[in-house]
Structure 1
Amino acid sequence: MRGQAHTLEAFVAGLLVLSGIVFALQATAVTPLSASTSNQHVGNQERAMAAGVLETTDANGSLEEAIVYWNTTPDNQDRGEFYGANATDGTAYADAPPNAFGRALDDAFGERRTAFNVVVHSFGENASLTRTWMVRMGIPSSDAVTVGRQVTLFDDATFSSPEAGNISAAAANPDRRFYASDASRDGRLFNVVEVRITVWRI
């Protein structure tokens, strides 16, 4: 009887030790940089808002207008830029663009202590990917979220800026510069671009 009691005690002690080891391995330290349910909720909310901006502006045409709000012959530069670009490090805006797409970005993020970058990706010659900054507010934080939407541009799309003419004529003119090239010179399709919004808290 006594031997059985000792065996039972040893078995229970072993279970306690094993449980302690499993608990220690599963436990993680929570630091200010640890991901939390709150941070995940904020990230999901920002992702949904960015997707909503892209979907709404694509539906009403202002996303395409922002894509072609372009200056092919800026002063003192050998490349084009978004019309009225004011960023110090390139051809982009330092804040929301001065058009309907920019107003939608401001309405979504302007009062929320939220920064955003907007980049337009397009296919160049030999299927190479070209990245053109539209808005460049800074370097995203580690918890930034990115949402993209594709927009099809056709040869007869005209610039929404004071620039004259259509995008295909500008792309074919060596004295004018447009960031996207004509991907289908034998058809109506000009290019399929993807607009990506990256959002993060500041």
Structure 2
Amino acid sequence: MVTPRERGQGDGSDRGQAHTLEGVTAALIVVTSVVLALQMTAVTPLTASTANQHIETQERAAAHGVLATASQETLRGSALYWNATRARFPGSGERGFYVGSGPTEQVALLDRLNQTFYGTGIAYNVRLVYLDAAGEERRTRRLVYNGEPTENAVIVRRSVTLYDNDHPVVASGRTPRTLGESAYFAPDAAPNSTVYNVVDVEVVVWRM
């Protein structure tokens, strides 16, 4: 026969076990909530940043690939595709630069850029950066302009050396005069040598 005292001791033990289980369950719930909250506040920005970095890396690699595989003659052809009589790129109109893909049939570099980026949601500008007459400061001439780049735009460039006896190409394909004899957009930055100027072909790409 169980005495009242013994019965009371059993009830206390059961209540203690129940309280212990409740405490453990509550602790697990709190820990789980904290972990979920930390994941929501820490992982989301990191994921977005990583995705943006991945996109920029892809854009840079694609643009770099186009310039890296282009021959010096291809780059020179881009810099020399100039109508000295009209003092602008052939067929560029009053703007003096191209909008869109430009004359891809005449300029091999623009053709390669168009093949690489057309239909991908990526826009690009092409600029020709050259030395001033003193050979000290850099000047920029737009070749292709498709809008203002975003803050995440990437820039790749390659240099090409132009010489005094190079010829700018007019729309008809005739080359009547050398750079030194024509109204070329870049000046002779090294008048005491056979080098005329050094032009950086810059490609700026960004996701629209």
TM-score band (shorter)?
Answer: 0.7 to 0.9
- Residue in 2 aligned with 1:185? 191
TM-score, length basis structure 2? 0.71
Are 1:96 and 2:105 counterparts? no
The answer to whether the 8 A contact 2:168-2:184 is kept is no
User: Rg larger in 1 or in 2?
Assistant: 2
From 127, 131, 150, give the equivalent of 2:140.
Answer: 131
Cα deviation, 1:115-144, whole Å, max 9, x if unaligned, reads: 111111111123232110001100011211
The answer to whether the 8 A contact 1:122-1:131 is kept is yes
The answer to whether the 8 A contact 2:83-2:169 is kept is no
Structure 2 residues without counterparts, runs of 5 or longer: 1-33
Cα deviation, 1:24-46, whole Å, max 9, x if unaligned, reads: 9xx66956xx8522221111111
Q: State how far apart, in whole Å, the 2-side matches of 1:156 and 1:96 are.
A: 29
Q: State how far apart, in whole Å, the 2-side matches of 1:142 and 1:128 are.
A: 25
SS of the residue corresponding to residue 198 of structure 1 reads strand
Tell me which moved more, 153-162 or 180-189.
153-162
From 107, 126, 151, give the equivalent of 2:115.
Answer: 107
Are 1:43 and 2:36 counterparts? no
The percent of aligned pairs where both chains have the same amino acid is: 31
How do 1:31-180 residues align onto structure 2 when only pairs under 5 Å count? 35-57=48-70, 59=71, 61-74=73-86, 80-86=87-93, 90-98=95-103, 99-126=107-134, 127-161=136-170, 162=173, 164-170=176-182, 177-180=183-186
The answer to whether the 8 A contact 2:164-2:195 is kept is yes
SS of the residue corresponding to residue 120 of structure 1 reads strand
How many angstroms does 1:164 deviate by?
2.7
| Off by >4 Å, runs of 4+ in structure 1 | 27-31
Let me know the Cα RMSD of the aligned residues.
2.3
- Residue in 2 aligned with 1:13? none
* Greater share of residues in helix: 2
Structure 1 residues without counterparts, runs of 5 or longer: 1-19, 75-79, 171-176
How many angstroms does 1:67 deviate by?
0.7
Q: Structure 1 residues 69, 44: closer, same or farther in 2, change over 3 A?
A: same
User: How many residue pairs were aligned?
Assistant: 163
- Residue in 2 aligned with 1:173? none
Are 1:194 and 2:203 counterparts? no
Q: State how far apart, in whole Å, the 2-side matches of 1:136 and 1:164 are.
A: 28
SS of the residue corresponding to residue 61 of structure 1 reads helix
- Residue in 2 aligned with 1:14? none
Q: State how far apart, in whole Å, the 2-side matches of 1:164 and 1:150 are.
A: 25
TM-score, length basis structure 1? 0.72
